[in-house]
Amino acid sequence: MKLDFFKLVKREIRIMLKNFSIIYSFSTFFVIASLIFVFSVNDISYVKIFYKSIVWIVLIFSIMLVSENFLNEDFNDGSLKELQFLGFSEESIMVSKSIAMWVMIMIPMLFLIPLVFVFFQITLYELISLVINLFLATPSLTLISILSSLFSVQLKRNKIIQFVIILPFFVPMIIFTTSTETLFESYNLKENQFLILIGIFFITLPVCLMAGRLIMREINK
């Protein structure tokens, strides 16, 4: 079963590599959308203040747009049902998809972050802090977006519902990722600033897996 799970992850990564355009379009969208913010302000000092918020908003929207592709194809060609029929648990399917998405989309995105360093004229310390932030928070983000696409997989129209349903669950993430430093500085816990993000992941993981399992069962009824 352990081997089977790795096979499943391998399958997801292979599919991702075949659909390389998804990674490309995600990266392009991320860079262009970040640039739009820079173009929209006259004074670059404003961007320097809000760079974290900008990066996170762009990231959330781009990841939600991409996550749709992860499940729609599997649902439409019947692979999702087939995987369950083969005996893979709903949790393992969801985890494998999340791992593939994190490895193939989130990790390459971290290499794009130095561009932000140039565009937003932030310091090296801020850049490192941002990268660690993204590295620790993106697993939760990936799980939530996979869940959101599960919610909307059977909706033929009005995909905007996906955003409306799931956006409230990004609120704590946004709050803690964009204000971790200031928040923990005020409590004199600066060295523990990233632990909250790991904490959020350990709350998100079981909740998303449980909800994902229930939705997948409902989808295949």
Partner 1 sequence: MIFKLANPLRFQRLIEKIEPITLNIAITLLLVGLFFCFFGSPPDYLQGETVRIMYIHVPCAWFSLMIYSIIALCSIFSIVFKHTLADLISRSCAPIGACFTLATLLTGSIWGKPTWGTWWVWDARLTSELVLLIIYLGLIIINNAYEDKSKADRYSSILAIIGIINLPIIKWSVDWWSTLHQPASISKFSSPSIDPSMLLPLFIMTFSFFFFFISILLVRVRGEIIQRKIEVIRFNRMV
Q: Which stretch binds partner 1 (CB under 8 A): 21-29, 76-84, 102-110, 158-166?
A: 158-166
From CA 51, how far away is CA 116, in angstroms rounded? Answer: 8
Quick note: the x/- pattern for partner 1 over 102-141, rule CB under 8 A, is ----------------------------------------
Q: Which stretch binds partner 1 (CB under 8 A): 2-10, 48-56, 94-102, 170-178?
A: 170-178
Based on the shown chain and the rule CB under 8 A, indicate whether residue 201 belongs to the binding site for partner 1: no
Are 54 and 126 spatial neighbours (Cβ–Cβ below 8 Å)? Answer: no
Q: Which stretch binds partner 1 (CB under 8 A): 2-10, 34-42, 88-96, 164-172?
A: 164-172
Q: Which of 41, 49, 164, 198 binds partner 1 (CB under 8 A)?
A: 164
Q: Of the candidates 177, 100, 173, which has an alpha carbon nearest to the alpha carbon of residue 132? A: 177
Based on the shown chain and the rule CB under 8 A, indicate whether residue 215 belongs to the binding site for partner 1: yes
Quick note: the x/- pattern for partner 1 over 54-83, rule CB under 8 A, is ------------------------------
Closest distance to partner 1 from the beta carbon of 70 (Å): 18
Based on the shown chain and the rule CB under 8 A, indicate whether residue 161 belongs to the binding site for partner 1: yes
**Residue 35: alpha-carbon gap to chain centroid:** 20
Based on the shown chain and the rule CB under 8 A, indicate whether residue 155 belongs to the binding site for partner 1: yes
From CA 219, how far away is CA 149, in angstroms rounded? Answer: 12
From CA 122, how far away is CA 157, in angstroms rounded? Answer: 41
Q: Which stretch binds partner 1 (CB under 8 A): 15-23, 69-77, 126-134, 150-158?
A: 150-158
* Nearest residue (CB) to partner 1, 128 versus 161: 161
Q: Which of 4, 73, 185, 218 binds partner 1 (CB under 8 A)?
A: 218
Q: Please report, for the chain, how many H helices and E strands are present, in that order.
A: 9, 0
Structure tokens at 201: 């992941």
| Cβ burial 145-157 (10 Å sphere, 16+ → b, else e) | bbbbbbbbbeeee
Structure tokens at 110: 């971290």
From CA 145, how far away is CA 142, in angstroms rounded? Answer: 5
Q: What is the DSSP string of 70-110?
A: HHHHHHHTTHHHHHHHTT--HHHHHHHHHHHHIIIIIHHHH
Site residues for partner 1 per CB under 8 A:
151, 154-155, 158, 161, 164-169, 171-172, 175, 203, 207, 211, 214-215, 218
